[in-house]
């Protein structure tokens, strides 16, 4: 019988173990656990620990910090999909009187609401949440640091507001809603707001000596939707598979793609670092690979959830120390090791079942001015437009059922593609957001804005005046 651990080649498994062993040793972490998911299934789990004869397994809880925000974002998208709110709604429409109500729900999800990064002193991660019983205690007298909607500025209080929004619209505590609507349907039985044995203890490691200091474990109270949760590599591996594939009991694949789409304008440093933020998910570049997920930290714990959707590989890394290890870097390496050592085998090519002759008539080469493009029809019913030479604007288009298509990505996202026909029914040109694509460059007789010189194409000697 094949076990999950046998699904990777021995060399791949050793490379994964070597990577976490180096991270735990050089980062001086009391323990580090990791898991890899491929094709929606956990295919590897590893652990390294300083305790002889004991290693945490996939059911050992660690605190996951800001990965909690992704769970909160899923709840908010559920409310949107049920029609209870719109992401463009100002917060005041549903939760008035916060002092930050002009920010939209989308801006709160994307950290562009202009709110402060942290709540007022004392340091909320190391003090009881009972010190901040009300939203006003979390936001303070001056909650804004930037104009609303103008820039990305990571905000923990912003997700406190989103948690309060969930509570207001559901009429129940945030954690109860999370358990009922996300954790239980996905089988995440070892994820929750309080640690349950077996769980790791959180430690600080002295920067200049190999000694430890226990970190306090606080109930974050109102700040819980920003960072309260405890979880395991087993549960987070299942959550990673959900974030790629969706589950109609919780959130569909289309809404999850929306979460994975950049929503916040990056700052200069973020552009250089290849970092962006969607709706409750971080996006990073690692070489040519796009990674989505979230990192997390609280005193005594570090965590990362890393997904390469194109490779269908994800990694979870959990550590019980305040600093010393970069779970984000380790997670990116675990994904890379599997994706490069055992690349994804594509599904067999299969032809389309039914093809509309009117659509088939449109495929092939088109010209926007003198730029050559190819229009291709896929078996999924989508058409794709891409430049035939060099780089340029490209997009896939979904059919609207009336002979037109709508762009799905890039420059043409949301733009309309439609064939314009002559009186005899033949295609004169394609209209793409007012751009005219013809079968030949500046085709004679086609409806090209500005017209086409009636003398046609010519050599330089055929022209009476100099170009």
Q: Are residues 298 and 444 in the same domain?
A: no
Residue with tokens 């950290």: 111
Q: Is the pTM of this model over 0.75?
A: yes
Enclosing domain of residue 366: 357-461
Q: Which of 341, 375, 405 finishes a domain?
A: 341
Is residue 151 situated within a structural domain?
Answer: yes
Q: Report the pLDDT value the prediction gives residue 300, as an integer from 0 to 100.
A: 96
Q: Report the pLDDT value the prediction gives residue 463, as an integer from 0 to 100.
A: 61
Is residue 350 situated within a structural domain?
Answer: no
Question: What single string gives the DSSP state of each residue in 234-261?
Answer: HHHHHHHHHHHH-BTTTB-HHHHHHHTS
Q: Report the pLDDT value the prediction gives residue 2, as an integer from 0 to 100.
A: 44
CATH number of the domain at 390, please: 2.40.128
Q: Are residues 446 and 391 in the same domain?
A: yes
Q: Are residues 368 and 333 in the same domain?
A: no
Is residue 352 situated within a structural domain?
Answer: no
Mean pLDDT of 30-39: 97
Is residue 419 situated within a structural domain?
Answer: yes
Nearest CA to 47 out of 59, 60, 34 is that of 34
Q: Report the pLDDT value the prediction gives residue 1, as an integer from 0 to 100.
A: 40
Q: Are residues 28 and 142 in the same domain?
A: yes
pLDDT digits (tens, 9 = 90+) for 321-364: 999 999 999 999 999 999 999 998 888 988 888 888 889 999 99
Mean pLDDT of 9-38: 97
Q: Are residues 337 and 362 in the same domain?
A: no
Q: Which of 289, 306, 341 finishes a domain?
A: 341
Burial string for 75-89 (b: 16+ CB within 10 Å, else e) reads bbbbbbeeeebebee
Does residue 150 have a cis bond before it (omega within 30 degrees)? no
Does residue 122 have a cis bond before it (omega within 30 degrees)? yes
Mean pLDDT of 90-118: 94
User: Is the pLDDT higher at 330 or at 425?
Assistant: 330
Checking if the pLDDT of 399 tops 80, the result is yes
Torsions phi, psi of 368, nearest 5? Answer: -100, 100
User: Is the pLDDT higher at 263 or at 183?
Assistant: 183
Computed over every residue of the chain, the mean pLDDT equals 92
pLDDT digits (tens, 9 = 90+) for 171-182: 999 999 999 999
The separation between CA 219 and the C-alpha centre of its own chain, rounded to angstroms, equals 28
Is residue 351 situated within a structural domain?
Answer: no
Is residue 412 situated within a structural domain?
Answer: yes
What sign has the CA pseudo-torsion 377, 292, 245, 258? Answer: negative
Is residue 346 situated within a structural domain?
Answer: no
Is residue 312 situated within a structural domain?
Answer: yes
Q: Which of 315, 341, 367 finishes a domain?
A: 341
pLDDT digits (tens, 9 = 90+) for 269-325: 776 678 899 999 999 999 889 999 999 999 999 999 999 999 999 999 999 999 999
Question: What single string gives the DSSP state of each residue in 344-373?
Answer: PPPPPP---S---HHHHTT-EEEEETTEEE
Q: Are residues 169 and 286 in the same domain?
A: yes
Contact 141, 171 (CB under 8 A): no
pLDDT digits (tens, 9 = 90+) for 434-444: 999 999 999 88
CB atoms within 10 A of CB 59: 13
The number of distinct structural domains making up the chain is 2
pLDDT over 90 percentage in the chain:
76
CATH number of the domain at 53, please: 3.40.710.10
3 pLDDT tier (thresholds 50, 70, 90): low
Q: Are residues 90 and 174 in the same domain?
A: yes
User: Is the pLDDT higher at 243 or at 460?
Assistant: 243
User: Is the pLDDT higher at 355 or at 63?
Assistant: 63
Q: Are residues 150 and 121 in the same domain?
A: yes
Question: What single string gives the DSSP state of each residue in 299-337?
Answer: TTEEEEEEEETTTTEEEEEEE-BSSS--HHHHHHHHHHH
């Amino acid at each position: 019988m094949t076990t999950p651990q046998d699904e990777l080649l021995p060399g791949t498994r050793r490379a994964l173990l070597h990577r976490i062993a180096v991270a735990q040793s050089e980062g001086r972490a009391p323990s580090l656990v990791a898991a890899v998911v491929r094709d929606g299934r956990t295919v590897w789990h590893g652990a390294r620990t300083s305790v002889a004869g004991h290693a945490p397994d996939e059911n050992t809880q660690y605190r996951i910090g800001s990965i909690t925000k992704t769970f909160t974002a899923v709840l908010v998208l559920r409310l949107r999909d049920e029609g209870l709110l719109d992401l463009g709604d100002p917060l005041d429409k549903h939760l008035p009187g916060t002092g930050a109500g002009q920010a939209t729900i989308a801006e709160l999800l994307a950290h562009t609401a202009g709110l402060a990064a942290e709540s007022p002193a004392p340091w909320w991660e190391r003090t009881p949440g009972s010190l901040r019983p009300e939203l006003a205690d979390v936001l303070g007298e001056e909650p804004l640091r930037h104009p609303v909607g103008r820039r990305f500025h990571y905000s923990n209080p912003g997700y406190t507001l989103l948690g309060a929004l969930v509570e207001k619209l559901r009429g129940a505590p945030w954690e109860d809603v999370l358990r009922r609507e996300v954790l239980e349907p996905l089988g995440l039985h070892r994820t929750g707001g309080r640690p349950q044995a077996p769980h790791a203890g959180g430690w600080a490691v002295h920067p200049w000596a190999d000694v430890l200091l226990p970190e306090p474990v606080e109930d974050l109270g109102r700040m819980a939707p920003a960072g309260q949760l405890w979880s395991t590599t087993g549960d987070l591996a299942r959550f990673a598979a959900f974030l790629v594939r969706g589950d109609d009991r919780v959130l569909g694949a289309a809404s999850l793609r929306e979460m994975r789409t950049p929503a916040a304008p990056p700052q200069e440093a973020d552009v250089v670092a290849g970092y962006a933020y969607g709706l409750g998910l971080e996006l990073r570049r690692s070489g040519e690979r796009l990674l989505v997920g979230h990192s997390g930290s609280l005193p005594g714990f570090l965590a990362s959830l890393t997904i390469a959707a194109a490779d269908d590989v994800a990694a979870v890394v959990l550590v019980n120390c305040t600093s010393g290890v970069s779970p984000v870097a380790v997670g990116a390496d675990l994904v890379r090791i599997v994706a490069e050592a055992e690349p994804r085998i594509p599904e067999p090519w299969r032809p389309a079942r039914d093809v509309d002759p009117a659509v088939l008539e449109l495929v092939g080469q088109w010209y926007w001015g003198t730029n050559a493009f190819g229009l291709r029809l896929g078996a999924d019913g989508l058409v794709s437009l891409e430049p035939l030479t060099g780089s340029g604007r490209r997009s896939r288009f979904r059919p609207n059922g009336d002979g037109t298509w709508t762009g799905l990505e890039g420059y043409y996202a949301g733009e309309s593609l439609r064939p314009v026909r002559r009186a005899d029914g033949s295609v004169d040109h394609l209209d793409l957001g007012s751009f005219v694509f013809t079968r030949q460059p500046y085709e004679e007789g086609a409806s090209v804005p500005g017209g086409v010189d009636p003398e046609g194409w010519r050599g330089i000697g055929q022209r009476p005046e100099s170009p």
